[in-house]
């Protein structure tokens, strides 16, 4: 059985989850793989405790244990999970299409999840009076001016970024999750708005839906 180590915490406005950990949960569900979740205390991650560093040399989440194997980084883990089970492949067979998926997945990680999204998401883990509203607005502005126009162009009336649902869409599931809590309007980009809603309708979204309590999304069943 695969064990996923990630950060998840209950708030009055829903269950908040690590964006990168959520990427892994989505792929575990999409691939139909059995798993269990072990929540890691955010304080242990921020303080880079030796037990965290022993599993992830950068002291971050997520990582997984699968038998003797410990693996970190959501992108690396998701490629592993995609190959571990032949069911529901999330990478195209054609080399050029596969590279395109990987490029867009990388954009999701570097251009969104490591850039604008934490500015919006991290303050939601703190009490309202401690939130940096200026940083939150900077994150929203970055999405509005850079990310959403790019997604709108890339979608080009397709259901998903590369046609069929693929690893390229997985970081955007975390975007759908964050914006569900934040409530930022994306109505200016109707194709993106419909796309994010389409992602929320996938059964795998249940595991990261802020409406799903932490205890109800710790395993595959």
Q: Which parts of this chain interact with ligand GSH (CB under 6 A)? A: 18-20, 45-46, 59-62, 73-75, 109
Smallest distance, ligand GSH to C-beta of residue 76, A: 8
Residue nearest to ligand GSH (CB): 60
Residue with smaller CB distance to ligand GSH, 62 or 139? 62
For residues 181 and 191, which CB has a smaller minimum distance to ligand GSH in the complex? Answer: 181
Residue 172 — φ and ψ, nearest 5°? -70, -20
Coil, strand or helix at 181:
helix
Q: Which residue number, 87 or 114, has a Cβ lying nearer to ligand GSH? A: 114
Q: Rounded to the nearest whole angstrom, what is the least distance from the CB of residue 40 to ligand GSH in the complex?
A: 9
Which residue, 59 or 210, is less far from ligand GSH as judged by CB? 59
CB of residue 21 vs ligand GSH: minimum separation in angstroms? 6
Query: What's the closest the beta carbon of residue 188 comes to ligand GSH, in angstroms?
Result: 27
- Min dist CB 19 to ligand GSH, Å, is 5
Q: Which is nearer to ligand GSH, 83 or 188 (CB)?
A: 83
Question: What are the distances in angstroms from CA 90 to CA 79, 136, 212?
Answer: 9, 32, 25
Rounded CA separation 220/203 (Å): 11
Identify the CA nearest to 207 among candidates 79, 23, 3, 83: 23
Q: How many CB atoms are located within 10 Å of the residue 163 CB?
A: 13
Q: Which two tokens stand for residue 103?
A: 């490029």
Please tell me the distance from the alpha carbon of residue 136 to that of residue 211, in angstroms, as a whole number: 22
């Amino acid at each position: 059985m695969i064990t996923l180590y990630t950060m998840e915490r209950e708030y009055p406005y829903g269950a908040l989850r690590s964006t990168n950990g959520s990427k892994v949960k989505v792929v575990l569900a999409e691939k139909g793989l059995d798993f269990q979740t072990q929540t890691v205390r955010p304080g242990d991650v921020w303080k880079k405790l030796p037990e965290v560093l022993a599993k992830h040399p950068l002291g971050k989440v997520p990582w997984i244990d699968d038998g003797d194997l410990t693996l970190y980084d959501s992108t690396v883990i998701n490629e592993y999970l995609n190959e571990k089970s032949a069911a529901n492949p999330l990478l195209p067979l054609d080399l050029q299409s596969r590279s395109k998926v990987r490029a867009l997945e990388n954009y999701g990680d570097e251009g969104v999840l490591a850039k604008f999204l934490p500015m919006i998401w991290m303050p939601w883990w703190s009490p309202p009076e401690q939130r940096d509203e200026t940083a939150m607005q900077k994150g929203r502005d970055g999405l509005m001016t850079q990310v959403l126009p790019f997604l709108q162009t890339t979608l080009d009336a397709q259901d998903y970024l590369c046609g069929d649902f693929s690893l390229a869409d997985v970081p955007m599931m975390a975007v759908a999750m964050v914006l569900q809590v934040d409530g930022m309007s994306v109505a200016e980009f109707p194709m993106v708005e419909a796309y994010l809603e389409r992602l929320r309708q996938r059964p795998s979204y249940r595991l990261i839906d802020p409406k799903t309590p932490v205890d109800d999304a710790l395993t595959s069943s």
